[in-house]
Every structure is written in C-alpha cells, then in structure tokens.
Amino acid sequence: MSYSFLQHYWCFVVALLGAILVFLLFVQGANSVAGSLGYTQEGRRLVYNSTGRKWEFTFTTLVTFGGAFFASYPLFYSTSFGGAYWLWMIILFTFVVQAVSYEFQNKIGNFLGPKTFQFCLTLNGILGPLLLGGAVATFFEGSNFIVEKENLINGASLTPVISHWANASHGLDALLNPWVLVFGFAVVFLARTLGILYVMNNVDDEDIRSRGSVRLLGAAVPFVILFVAYLVHLLLKDGFAYDPATGVIFMEPLKYLHNLLDMWYLAVLLLIGVVLVLYGIGKTIISKNYIGGIWPAGIGTVLTVLALLLCSAWNNTAYYPSTADLQSSLTMQNSCSSEFTLRTMFYVSLLVPFVLAYIVYAWRAIDAKKITKEEIEKAEHVY
Amino acid sequence: MVTITSIISLLQASLPEQGGELLNAVDWARAQFALTAIYHWLFVPLTLGLGLIMSIMETKYYRTGSEFWRRTTQFWQRLFGINFAMGIATGIILEFEFGTNWSNYSWFVGDIFGAPLAVEGIVAFFMESTFVAVMYFGWDKVSKGFHLASTWLTWIGATISAWWILVANSWMQYPVGCEFNPDTMRNEMTSFFDVALSPFAIDKFCHTVISSWIIGAVFVAAVSAWYLLKKREAERELALKSLRIGAIVGLIASIGAAITGDESAYKVAEVQPMKLAAMEALYNGGTDQSLTALAWVNPFKQPNYAEEEEAPLRIAIPNGLSILATRSLHGFVPGVNDILKGYTREDGTVELSAREKMTRGLLAIAALQNYRRDAADEKAFLAGEAPDLNFKERKEQQLAILKDNIQYLGYGFIKDEAELVPFIPINFWAFRIMVGLGTLFILYFAFLIFLQWRKKEVASMKWLLWLSIILLPCAYICSESGWLVAEFGRQPWTIQDMLPVNASVSDISSSAVATTFWLFLILFTTMLAVEISIMLKQIKKGEPFPVTSQEGE
C-alpha cells in the first residue's frame, strides 16, 4: 500500500461517510415536513416516532464523519472548523437541540411544552441540511482562508495560528454565494424527499401515505430543478487543479467535467445514482401501492454524493480550495495524516463491514413490523 | 456542582494579567471547553454506572423470567434514556470544538489525536446507537436473549467509547508514540500501540470508568431511598432490591476507584510532577514528604509559593506523599520551586530549570525557522531559481540543534516561568474534595451492605435514607472534581510539555467565542433544567406494582 493509495482510500472512506450522512438526512427532511405530513397531532407523533428510531444513526454518522476527517485530513479539520467558525457552530447548535427533542418533547415534566422541541426538530430539519449542503458546496466554490504554517514559529506574528479566515464573517460569507445556496437548498429538498419516502415506508398509516404522495411532488420538483442547475454549473465551471510535480494549485477550465471524463467510473456512478433517485421518486408518485421508494432513492443518493465528493478531490484536484490565496488550498496530499497513521487507520477501517452488518441486523429486527397508531399507544418507549 | 460562574472566576484568577482585557480568546476557548466538558460529564458517568446496574437487572429478568425484574429494568431504562439523550447532545460539541476552538492543536497533533476519535466513532458509537435503539424499541419485538445482549452492548459501547476518549485525553497528559516532523510542522504517530495502550491511559480508564459506577450506584440508592422515605408501598420492593444491587456495585466501585486513584497519583508524580505539587500545594519538596490532609490555601488566590515555606495550618500524614509518589517512605518529591529551579530525580535524571527549558525551547524554534528557510531555499535551487549555498549541510546542522532541543519546543512559547505553575487552589481543593467524598462513599456503601447482611430494616432508618439522597449531588461534585484536577493541573499545557494553550487556539476573536460560550451556557442550562424536571416527574410517577402480589426473585 503506497502513501498515495492510502490518501485515495481515506478520501473514499470520508466521502462514503459523507454520502451516507446525506442519505440519513431523511430524518431531518421528514421532521421539516412533519406538520403537513402528519397533519393531526396523532399523525405528527407517528412521524416523530418513525424518525425517532433512526436519528441516532444520522447523529453517529455525523460524529464518525468528523472523527474520520480529523484522523485522515487534520489540516481540513483545523482550517475549516477553526475558520468557518460560525457556519459549523450553527450546524452543531441545531444538532444539539435535535438530540434532546425526541426524548423530551412529550414527557411529563417538560415545562417548555412539546411545541418548543418540535420547533427545534423543524429548525434542525431545515438548517441542518441547508448548512451541511452549503459546506459541501464550498468544496467546489472555494472558501476564504489562508494557511501559513510558518506562523507557528514566527515570533513576529500576533498569534501563532497557522490558518486564518480572510474575513470577519468566519464562514457565513459562503452563504452570499448564490451557488452555495442553490446546492444547500437542493440538499434541503433532497432530505425532504427522502424523509417523505422513508415515512411512507416505515409508517403503516393510510392517511400519511396518501398525503406523502402529494407532498413528495412538492419536495422532489424543487430538488430536481436545483440539483440539475448546480450540476450544469459544476460541469461548466473552472475548477481548482493541483500539479503533483510542483505542488502548485491553478485554475483549470471545465476541471470537474474533465474529472468525470477522466474518472469515467465516477460518471457512471453519478448517472446510476441520479437514475435511482428519480426512479424511487417517480415510481412512488405514479404507483399507488408502491412504498419502497426510499431504497432506490436512498442508494441513489449515496452513489450520487459519493461520486460528487470524489470528483472534488481525486484526479489532482484541490478539495478545499481557497479563494483568498490559491496556494493555501487543501489537497489530499498537503492536508492528510502521515503514512503511518493512514495505514494504521486502514486496518481499523476493516471493521466497518462488521459494523454495517450488525446495524442492518438490528435495524431489520426493530423495523420488521411497521409503526402504527396502536403501537404508539402501547409501546414501552415512545416519543 | 461547581457553578459555571465560579469556574470563570477561578479561570480568571488562574491566569496572569492579560493587558487589561478581562478574558482573551484563549481564556474564552478554555472556558467554553470547560463548560462543555463539565456539562457532558454530568451525563456520561450516569450512563456508564446506571447502564451497568440495569444490565445486571435485566440479566436477572432473563434468568428468572420474573415480571418484577422486567418492569424494574424498564423503569431504570426510562431514566437512563432521559440522561442518555443529554450525554449525546453535549458530546458532539466536544469533538468539534477541537477544530473550532483549537485549530492549531488539531493540526499540530491531529496525526495522533484524530485516530482515537475516529476509532471511537467506528467501534463504539455505532455499537451504542444501534443497540440502544433495540433496547428502547425491541421489547416484545426481539427475543429476550437478543434484548439482553442489546442492553449489555449499549453499556459496552459506552464503555469502549470512554476508553478511546480517555486514550486521547491521556495522550494530552503524557504524549507518547510520536515524533516531530519539521517538514510537515507537526507531530506524527510512530506507534499506535504506545498511544492506545499507554500505561497512563490504562490507569485513567480504570479510574474514570470505575468511579463512574459510583454515580450509577448512588443514583439508584438515592431514588430508592426517596421511595422508602415517601413510604411508596407500590415501589417498596423495587426500591429495596435496587438498593441492594446499588450497594454492591457501589462498594466494589468505590474501593476500585480508591485503588486505581492511588495508581493514577503515582503516574502523575512520574510524568506530571507540577500537577502533583499543585494538588498538594507543595512549594518546596524533599525526601520523607508528608501528605497534606488539610491546610489553609486561599481558594481564589494563587499562593506566594516562591516566598512561603508551606501552606499555613497544615495537618499532614507523615511520609504519606513520599509513599504515594515514589512507593518509598523516604522518596524525594519535588515542589513547585524545585521544578522551576531544576532538580535531580531519584534515578539520577537531571530535570532542567524552567528558565533553561525556555531557553532551549527558543533554540528549537530558531533551529526550526532556519531549517524551514533552508528547505525553501533548497527547493528554489532545485527549481533552478537560486544558487546552491550548501543547503543540505545547513539543514543537517539545524536538524541536529532541533533534535537536541525538540523536547523543550513547547517551552519556547512560554513568556514567563510563572505561567508554568497551574492555579494551585483549585487543584488543592478539588483533589481534597474528590478524595474526601470518595472515602465517604466507601464507608456509606460498606455500611449499607453491613445492614443488609445483618437483615436490618433499612426502610425505617430515616437518617440513612436522607443521607442517600444528599450523597447524590456529592457524587457529581466528587466526579467533576476529579476532572478539575486532571485538567487544571495540566495548565498551561494543552499537551504536557509539548504545546501550551496559547499556541493551540484558533484565530477567532474573543467576542465571537464569548458569544458562543454564553449561547451554549444558556442552552445547556435550559436543557439541564428540563432534564431534571422530567427525571423528577418520572421518578415521582414511579413503577407501581400491585401491593399485595409482588413477585420476587
């Protein structure tokens, strides 16, 4: 295993975790439409109890995504989290309030009332995907930072910090870029689409399923429009390329289109992913009895996001580009951990299939029977 | 619980003057991390402790098939669930704060520090979150055996998670298995096993996890005592039987915590002598050192250690500290002034004075600057843009200087040797509170078991029931005190002797960090208030059993 292989491998692992995270944002998506999807108090409770059995997977994947990124690309962790401070803090804030909302909302003794926590779930349901999507968009659009490692030992510098954000907004400036917003809202509507598909599959309730088909159209149409718009923009835009011989980063016209052509297998992955998402949505809208749309759409989401994330980093591309100082841009090569650490973590990552196996086993065990109103009334643990 | 405002005032008192600014960005970053960690640690030990106890209860249900044990397990699992959510909510912030508030740190040691966090996610978090879902929702959906396994796996997952976090924290206290790379400007891992199985980490894990069981045991005892005090007949059997399990777990845990705590102190003496000196308010060390039981150390003011011989009104156990720190009656234990002035260890190793270490730190920084300048010039030469000025030899010369002084690199960021002395009062008092309460728990649980062994009527001993309730906040104070010693005692270092806090932070203004600090303070406090309210209501609601037909074991 060469250093280069390990860098590519860990990029793949982090991208896969990111792709699975985007799929699992169906929890947020469903929560953001719980009011209209559930309609009645009883119906809303069904929706929350349905997503309530999965939210920890989303949360855990987010934490593992962070941990894996830290271990394999510490300079990204240092630069992005320490620089885009406000962006990440708002994301964290919404996930923190979400984490307690399920457990607290309907418990006796909740003096803030269930609506407070349902509002928190809605807030997280919109802001979580929007800002995470926005953060991903900066992988293509660039961010305003400067990395200067000499600062650490330069006695003349005010603070010995190696990475700085080039303006005072600390990450919020990304939201001024319309393309970041287009991608962010595409993720919001994707999460909503997946959320509706998931609830239709997981909850055995005719009202919710019939409402779901209608709401699905309202989420899927804006998603498709925004996603296609961003995809076209991405394929036509200049990209941040990296010269492996000199380490110099430069702008290359149509870089991401070139990446997909050079790495045809990613293009195939992207195509299959998009087709599966559209199939999942289309069949659910057309066929009255079809409730399995979450599976093709979910798998399609993972494949699509995986292809996009790998397109931002493989094939000599700067995956976290700096618009303030091009040469500060982060590449797999200049931001990764040492070969020793990547190799050690490679062996740890071999446990992942085992982890996935027990997740699937446990998930099937508790999901074998769909959630019903009767179950919510009688169950030992309900939200 | 130690209040947040007192933490801030202690933090302020623990720092040298900041040029008129009340708290600078470093202090706010520390305060924010302390706030998050203190809140997080309110929930984690109960997860670890109550998780063990409810797993034991469910095992009883599995073995006996008794409806009583099933409902008793479910009752405690309900309380576990309320607490668990808060632990998750506060935990996510900690991981990401390394990046948001300590970005230099994240790069400087991310090659080593990131690995345990990633392993924790892959190995422990998924186990916890998967099986906790089966535990909550799997009753009547999965077999009894699978459900029992899920309950145990939830607890095992939480414990493995604690292992990796404590490995990471121990590495900050005692950095091993790494080497500085001047080309990448960071420390890089050289041995994963040295990091993962560091003796310091093993001790810390054992002490922290075992002491967490005390909180679970005291919690169970306190809730049970409340039912008995209120004469809630419907929960009487639940209370008595839970109290019995709690007492056994509590006694094992409190004795275990004392043994592992002693070993931890021994390790601290070996690798963090300044922390031990601060814990003991030992200004001037020597051989045959006595262990301070009590002394007057002003809790809000750094003592004048340079001038004072020892803390006033001192009551001490002869030779106690020498035994604790060196396992010998006559062992030499250095005090604050010895460490600052330099001393010779018992094995003959000479520890340099603070001033000498700071000088060598500056030498290391200068050598690193020169090395990197020469490396850049060499790169230009290789590209044909500059003449050759014998860069290779010059780089080797600088590397040799760097290698000789690399262990003091962190000292190059220290401006004044007073910075090297942690805030003594908080270390001194927190250590005494931890040890004092820890001893009290041994006596309390031993007495509970004695009463049960002699078949005494615990339910009628009102004073004991009240004591059980009063001990609950004491258990939290005890546990948090341990962390205060561990973290305040390491100051000014983020990584002991390697990187001080002022070179670890992010480039974020103090007002921005202060804003997030207050936001999180308001958020966590509100969430805690709701949690306590829900918990109390759940306890009050109880798990009423038919009074006349209670089933037993």
pLDDT band, residue B30 (cuts 50/70/90): very high
Strands A239-242 and A249-252: antiparallel
Q: How does DSSP assign B130-160, residue by residue?
A: HHHHHHHH-TTTS-HHHHHHHHHHHHHHHHH
Question: Does A161 contact B507 at a Cβ distance shorter than 8 Å?
Answer: yes
Using an 8 Å Cβ cutoff, are A222 and A185 in contact? yes
**pLDDT per residue as tens digits for the range A150-173:** 888 876 555 688 888 988 888 889
Q: Are the C-beta atoms of A32 and A125 separated by less than 8 Å? A: yes
- Tokens 């209670």 — which residue? B550
**Contact state of B533 with A85 under an 8 Å Cβ cutoff:** no
The ipTM assigned to this model is 0.91
Q: How many CA atoms lie within 13 A of A314 on its CB side?
A: 27
Nearest chain A Cα to B86, which residue? A100
Buried b (16+ CB within 10 A) or exposed e, B66-103: eebbbbbbbbbbbbbbbbbbbbbbbbbbbbbbbbbbbb
**Model pLDDT, residue B19:** 40
In a domain, A383, yes or no: no
The minimal CB distance from A150 to the residues B25, B107, B372 is found for: B372
pLDDT band per the 50, 70, 90 thresholds, residue B20: very low
- How many beta-carbon pairs below 8 A join chains A and B? 280
Min Cα distance B285 → chain A (Å) is: 35
From chain B, the residues in CB contact with A68 under 8 A are 118, 121-122
Number of structural domains in chain A: 1
Global pTM reads 0.91
Query: Quick check: B99 and A77 CB within 8 A?
Result: yes
Lowest mean pLDDT among A181-185, A278-282, B155-159, B455-459: B455-459
Computed over every residue of chain A, the mean pLDDT equals: 92
Write out chain A residues lying below 8 Å of B120, CB-based: 67
Distance between CA A288 and CA A276 in Å, rounded? 19
Residue A157: its pLDDT value, please? Answer: 57
List the beta bridge partners of residue B317. Answer: B291
Would residue A194 count as lying in a domain?
Answer: yes
Segment B510-538 shows an average pLDDT of 95
Beta pairing partners, B180 = B187
| Chain A contact present for B388, CB below 8 A | no
Q: Which two tokens stand for residue A222?
A: 């804006």
Average confidence (pLDDT) over B231-259 = 94
pLDDT over threshold 60, residue B298 = yes
User: In this structure, what DSSP letter does residue B503 have?
Assistant: G
- What pLDDT does residue B79 have? 95
Q: Which residue does chain A place closest to B501, by CA atoms?
A: A160
A227 pLDDT tier (thresholds 50, 70, 90): very high
Lowest model confidence (mean pLDDT) among A91-105, A144-158, B135-149: A144-158
B94 contact A CB<8A: no
State how far the Cα of B232 lies from the Cα of B218, in Å rounded to an integer. Answer: 19
Write phi, then psi, for A368 (nearest 5 degrees): -55, -35
Between strands A163-165 and A145-147, the pairing is: antiparallel
Residue A155: predicted pLDDT: 66
Q: Say what the pLDDT of residue A19 is.
A: 95
Task: Say how many C-beta atoms besides its own lie within 10 A of residue A230's C-beta.
Answer: 22
A362–B85 C-beta distance less than 8 A: no
> Which chain A residue has its CA at the smallest distance from B504's CA?
A161
The structure tokens 């990029």 sit at A11
Mention every residue, 6+ apart, whose C-beta is less than 8 A from residue A24.
A54, A57, A58, A61
pLDDT, position B254:
97
Question: Which residues of chain B are within 8 Å of residue A328 when distances are taken between CB atoms?
Answer: none
Residue B121: DSSP 8-state: I
**Residue contact A162–B134, C-beta within 8 A:** no
Mean pLDDT (chain B) is 90
- pLDDT 10s digits, B364-414: 999 999 998 888 888 888 777 777 778 788 889 999 999 999 999 999 999
Minimal-distance CA residue of chain B relative to A111: B530
With CB atoms and an 8 Å threshold, state whether B121 touches A57: no
pLDDT band for position B550 (50/70/90)? Answer: very low
Distance from CA of A30 to the nearest CA of B (A): 19
Tell me the C-alpha distance between A290 and B15, whole Å.
Answer: 65
Domain of A190 in residue numbering reads as: 3-378
Burial class of A235 by CB neighbour count within 10 A (0 to 12, 13 to 18, 19+): middle
Query: For the purposes of burial, counting CB atoms within 10 Å of the CB of A195, is it exposed (0-12), middle (13-18) or buried (19 or more)?
Result: buried
Nearest to A362 among B99, B131, B508 (CB): B131
- Closest residue, chain A, to B505 (C-alpha): A161
pLDDT at B23: 61
Which residues of chain A does B106 touch, with a Cβ-Cβ cutoff of 8 Å?
70, 74, 77-78, 81-82
Could you identify the residue written with the tokens 């960021």? Answer: B413
Q: Which residues between 191 and 250 in chain B have a beta carbon less than 8 angstroms from any beta carbon of chain A?
A: 192
Q: Where are the alpha helices (DSSP H) in B342-353?
A: none
B window 177-196, beta carbon within 8 A of A: 181, 184-186, 188-190, 192
In a domain, A69, yes or no: yes
Question: Which residue do the tokens 């996890």 mark?
Answer: B209
3-state SS of chain A?
CCHHHHHHHHHHHHHHHHHHHHHHCHHHHHHHCHHHHHCCHHHHHHHHHHHHCCHHHHHHHHHHHHHHHHHHCHHHHHHHHHHCHHHHHHHHHHHHHHHHHHHHHCCCCCCCCHHHHHHHHHHHHHHHHHHHHHHHHHHHHCECEEECHHHHHCCCCCCCCCEEECCCCCCHHHHHCHHHHHHHHHHHHHHHHHHHHHHHHHECCHHHHHHHHHHHHHHHHHHHHHHHHHHHHHHHCCEEEECCCCCCEEEECCHHHHHHHHCHHHHHHHHHHHHHHHHHHHHHHHCCCCCCCHHHHHHHHHHHHHHHHHHCCCCCECCECECCCHHHCECHHHHCCCHHHHHHHHHHHCCHHHHHHHHHHHHHHHHCCCECHHHHHHCCCCC
Q: Which of A24-28, A162-166, B29-33 shows the lowest mean pLDDT across its residues? A: A162-166
Closest CB to B142: pick one of A109, A160, A365: A365
CA dihedral A209, A210, A213, A214 (to 10 degrees): -140
Contacts B133 to A, Cβ<8 Å: 53, 56, 362, 366
Nearest CA to CA, how far is B135 from chain A (Å)? 9
Q: Which of B181, B369, B527 sits opposite A153 (nearest CB)?
A: B369
Does residue A215 form part of some domain? yes
Whether A128 and A28 have beta carbons less than 8 Å apart is answered as yes
Q: A interface mutation test: which of B24, B107, B519 has the most A CBs within 10 A?
A: B107
- Asked if the Cβ–Cβ distance from A57 to B142 is below 8 Å, we say no
pLDDT at position B548 over 80? no
* B196 in Cβ contact with B167 (< 8 Å): yes
B533 with A109: Cβ contact below 8 A: yes
What ranges do the domains of chain B cover?
Answer: 24-272+422-541, 276-351, 354-413
Chain B positions in Cβ-Cβ contact with residue A93 (cut-off 8 Å): 519, 523
Note whether A82 contacts B99, CB cutoff 8 Å. Answer: yes
A166 part of a folded domain: yes
pLDDT of residue B229: 94
Q: What pLDDT score does B18 carry?
A: 41
Nearest to A381 among B111, B137, B533 (CB): B137
Share of chain B above pLDDT 90, in %: 77
Closest A-chain CA to B136: A381
* Residue A58 forms part of a structural domain: yes
CB contact under 8 A, B125 and A64: yes
Question: Which DSSP helix (H) or strand (E) runs through B377?
Answer: helix B354-382
A53, A92, A153 ranked by CB distance to B368: nearest: A153
User: What integer pLDDT is reported at residue B105 of this predicted model?
Assistant: 93
pLDDT digit string, tens, across residues A41-58: 888 999 999 999 899 889
pLDDT at B192 over 70: yes
CB contact under 8 A, A60 and B121: yes
Which of B85, B100, B531 is nearest residue A89 as measured by Cβ atoms?
B100
Element (H, E) at B517: helix B510-541
Q: DSSP labels for B181-227?
A: ETTTTEEEES-HHHHHT-HHHHHHHHHHHHHHHHHHHHHHHHHHHHH
Cis upstream peptide for B492 (omega within 30°): yes
Angle between helix B424-453 and B462-488 (nearest 10): 150
Which amino acid type is present at position B494? T
Closest by Cβ to A341, choosing from B74, B188, B368: B188
Nearest CA in chain B to A71: B114
pLDDT, residue B9, reads 53
Q: Return the H-helix or E-strand segment holding B542.
A: none
Q: Which of A49, A184, A51, A342 is nearest to B189 (CA)?
A: A342
Query: Shortest CB distance from A170 goes to which of B112, B413, B512?
Result: B512
